Structure 1
Amino acid sequence: MRPGLINDRPADLLDELLAPLRLEGVFVSHWEARAPWGLRGDRERNAILHYVRSGECAITMPGTSEPVMLGAGELAVFPHGTAHELADRPGRATTPLDLMLPGRPAGGTTEVRVDGPGRMTDLLCGGLHYDAAAMSPLYRSLPEIIVLDRTVLAAEPLLSGTLEGLTPRCGGLAALRAFELVFVLALRAALDRLGGMPPALRDPAIGRALLVIQTRYAEPWTLESLAREARMSRSAFAATFTRLVGEAPARHLAGRRMREAARLLGETATPLAAIPERIGYRSSVGLHLAFRRHYGVPPGEYRRARHQAASRGSRGGIAEPVTD
């Protein structure tokens, strides 16, 4: 594999796909559970990490018959916070997680002990809260669960070293940065080594188009110019892109521009009048209409809601993309 490439795709494309997913906080829980034990968690609006420090556990997901066994030194990642059960063995009766750990606010840390006569599992869990409004369609195409066993982790010294350095009592900004690093490195390892690369990134032509959309979104792209970038005919490019990415090129470009507009509105003091040119729109009217169609609120209202939420220390009331 050549330097700077992952599965022959530019590494900076993966950077651009992961970077918009702005992590805003992490809830850390440390479990020392002796068998018998079992937990049942509903779907959450954040990513979830489970790292087994010692012992083992079984992961069961709704609609699947085969449990996933996680042993000492192994990591499971749920990019979308998928509902699942966690127990000392498959088939164990489970207790709702909300009864044991209600709320689980970002920035919190807790330790839980479950007493029993059996073998102990030492488990470190992180719930990573992210800005769903910034999530790209390609991130949504990641699998429900990613498991990195000891063999994969052994080949990723930075990831394995970071995992070993996690402490049960870590909290605050240090915890966020540590779990953020684990999260990103785990996704990279999965994309690189486990065949988890979304089909769109495995296609060289569509990958070229995705890269310019992610990094050069302010340019006046058309279907024809994107097809030329991909070195395909217009019709073949449109059909292949839609099939692999899950939406048409124009919609994907508009979504990228809207995510950047939301970032500028929520995180910078860039004047509203200057944003259209920054993201590839010719007029404030065009941005206003597109932004309202995407988020359900006009840009000015979105900015006010972000600032009010920031002053309260929460994201309550902030618009997310309107889905069809």
Structure 2
Amino acid sequence: MDTVGTDRHAQHDAQHDEQEDLLSELLQPLRLTGVFDSRWHVRAPWAIEGDAERSCAVLHYVVEGGCWVTTDGEPPVELRAGDLVVFPTGAAHRLSDRPGRQCVPLKAALPERHPGTSGEIVVDGSGPESRLLSAGLRYDADAATGLCTSLPRALVLDSPQVDREPLLRDTLRLLASPDRPVGPGGRIITLRAFEMALVLALRPLLRELAGTPASPPLLRHPGISRAVVTMATRFAEPWTIDCIAREVGMSRSAFTAAFRDLVGESPARYLAARRMREAGRLLAETSLPQSAVPARVGYQSAVGFHLAFRKWFGVTPGEYRAGAVGAA
């Protein structure tokens, strides 16, 4: 029996599972707070330039035809029908029927771009026609992890890659169609659909980037990535920072410095955030007795949990649950 081969296979499976857990944890807090989307009907010649956006991801999905995307310091990239480009941090960029065109500012083509509304861009040229779905996806900067700011400025999924993610493909097609939900509840459905599209797009992109020089440093650091997974999946255990550092084979000082650098906050705050998210979920979405919540999220003391929860959310656990029930 080839025990060496079996061990290697098991090790590979474990690493794959850990990477999937890491990607899930990094993408989980990425909640959208507002979306402005627009449909573009453009005929060449055309060129539109968007400024950098803060706490906002931007995506463009080519429904028909094609275009070129240009960002400063990078060669132009051609997009064809079915391709998707995502700017995770809202980097400034230009879209055009060919590189080198003089651009019209996006704020001139769409002067009002309020979250929760939609717009349309029409350019009546004499050349080939293209149709695009574009969206500015505003997210909660406090909840987003350091992964967002460490991603490349532009990430592209070509049509075959999009087709390998049927849920992403179908969601984009629905959002681009005139038949998407309207009326009562239509905007929240649209918001959550774009949120799902963003996560579905980032997941295969991150999976492809992992292990390459272009991947975010967090994905390449075995100790810190393992610590993030540990805190994500074992937050109910009575961790201290010393214990987590030992768990991943690092000294406390090196671990704390590297974690802050790669994740964007201290390990103590990251662990507290993970525990508070779960506590809020248990109070808002389950009937678990309030007295049982502290132990479920890693607190030995009910008083300590109460104080930590109130400091984090600004209300007591009881008030939080009552508010969630009232909202429902």
- TM value normalised by structure 1: 0.74
User: Does structure 1 residue 199 correspond to structure 2 residue 217?
Assistant: yes
1:112 deviates by 2.2
CA contact (8 A) 1:265 1:299 kept: no
Please point out which of 46, 70, 74 is paired with 2:83. 74
Q: CA RMSD in A?
A: 3.8
1:180-195 residue pairs with structure 2 within 5 A? 180-195=195-210
User: Does structure 1 residue 136 correspond to structure 2 residue 145?
Assistant: yes
Please point out which of 45, 57, 62 is paired with 1:47. 57
Alignment coverage as a number of residue pairs = 298
Q: 1:40 to 1:261 in 2, by over 3 A?
A: farther
Separation in 2 of the partners of 1:131 and 1:265? 21
CA contact (8 A) 2:231 2:271 kept: yes
Separation in 1 of the partners of 2:285 and 2:45? 47
Partner letter of residue 99 of structure 2? P
Please point out which of 87, 92, 102 is paired with 1:83. 92
Correspondence for 2:121: 112
Correspondence for 1:100: 109
Partner letter of residue 120 of structure 2? E
1:134 deviates by 1.1
Correspondence for 2:3: none
Give structure 1 stretches of 5+ with no counterpart: 292-297, 312-324
CA contact (8 A) 2:145 2:263 kept: no
Please point out which of 151, 174, 177 is paired with 2:192. 177
Separation in 1 of the partners of 2:15 and 2:256? 25
The alignment partner of 1:133 has SS state of coil
Post-superposition Cα deviations, 1:129-148, rounded to whole Å, max 9, x if no partner, equal: 22222111223322221111
Partner letter of residue 214 of structure 1? A
Separation in 2 of the partners of 1:34 and 1:210? 47
1:193 deviates by 2.4
Separation in 1 of the partners of 2:91 and 2:32? 17
- Indicate the structure (1 or 2) with the bigger Cα radius of gyration: 2
User: Does structure 1 residue 151 correspond to structure 2 residue 169?
Assistant: no
Partner letter of residue 189 of structure 1? P
Partner letter of residue 105 of structure 1? H
CA contact (8 A) 2:89 2:148 kept: no
Partner letter of residue 158 of structure 1? L
CA contact (8 A) 1:276 1:287 kept: no
1:49 deviates by 1.1
* Identity %, equivalent residues: 50
Correspondence for 1:316: none
Partner letter of residue 27 of structure 2? L
Correspondence for 1:64: 73
Separation in 1 of the partners of 2:96 and 2:282? 43
CA contact (8 A) 1:124 1:168 kept: no
1:214 deviates by 2.7
The alignment partner of 1:102 has SS state of coil
Q: 1:264 to 1:86 in 2, by over 3 A?
A: farther
Q: 1:159 to 1:64 in 2, by over 3 A?
A: same
Give structure 2 stretches of 5+ with no counterpart: 1-8
Correspondence for 2:244: 226
Partner letter of residue 49 of structure 1? L
Q: 1:236 to 1:127 in 2, by over 3 A?
A: closer
Correspondence for 2:47: 38
Q: 1:144 to 1:263 in 2, by over 3 A?
A: farther
Post-superposition Cα deviations, 1:17-64, rounded to whole Å, max 9, x if no partner, equal: 212122233222110111111112112232111001122212222x31
CA contact (8 A) 2:35 2:135 kept: yes
